[in-house]
Amino acid sequence: MKKKPEDKIEIVQGDITKLEVDAIVNAANTTLLGGGGVDGAIHRAAGPELLAECRTLGGCQPGEAKITRGYRLPARFVIHTVGPVWRGGKRGEPETLANCYRNSLQVAVENGIRTIAFPAISCGAYGYPIEEAAQIAVNTTREFLATTDQIEKVIFVLWDEDVYKTYRRIL
Ligand code: APR
């Protein structure tokens, strides 16, 4: 029996580096050479081989997505994407953020990934308003899941209580 897209989406509060899924998505920057926030947590948990592989990727444009192995993470893969820096919403931020989710899911499908976890992309250092970002995350993911059965489960893993509550309210 075909599952509806919303039945494939889960929202949890926690640390994405602990998730035993095929792939976790990293909210990276254009260098792909690590940083703070979830980027820092993923690199710390994955170990130095992750940075070594990232160095071979030649960076990543905002909205694009690139895949590496997960190394010491429980997840087999990391899909690195670069969210938009919030500059008021008139600089294409919504479209760039939607592309982060769409392109990460597309890369997952291309690599036979069935379960994938996302953090709240751009909702930390990049300052995106939580409500709008959560709406884009859920809507873009729902639309994508309606186009393919390849993805079995998408988990939004929220670190902060307020971000978690916002996502729950939206779904
Ligand atoms: N698991 C899940 N979510 C986390 C974790 C974690 N271990 N650590 C932080 N987060 C949450 C933050 O609380 C925030 O809600 O991830 C969300 C995204 O915040 P950032 O990590 O700051 O990412 P972003 O806003 O996209 O900014 C990216 O910050 O870390 C640098 O290199 C990164 O330059 C890039 C920028």
Grade residue 1 by pLDDT with cuts at 50, 70 and 90: low
38 lines ligand 1 (CB under 6 A): yes
| CA pair distance 69, 92, nearest whole angstrom | 30
44 lines ligand 1 (CB under 6 A): no
Q: Which active-site residues does the annotation give?
A: 39
pTM (global) more than 0.75? yes
| CA pair distance 81, 87, nearest whole angstrom | 18
| CA pair distance 105, 126, nearest whole angstrom | 21
Q: How remote is the CA of residue 28 from the centroid of ligand 1, in Å? A: 8
At 133-170, the pLDDT tens digits run 999 999 999 999 999 999 999 999 999 999 999 999 99
At 89-105, the pLDDT tens digits run 999 999 999 999 999 99
| CA pair distance 100, 85, nearest whole angstrom | 12
Residue 82 neighbours by CB distance under 10 Å: 27
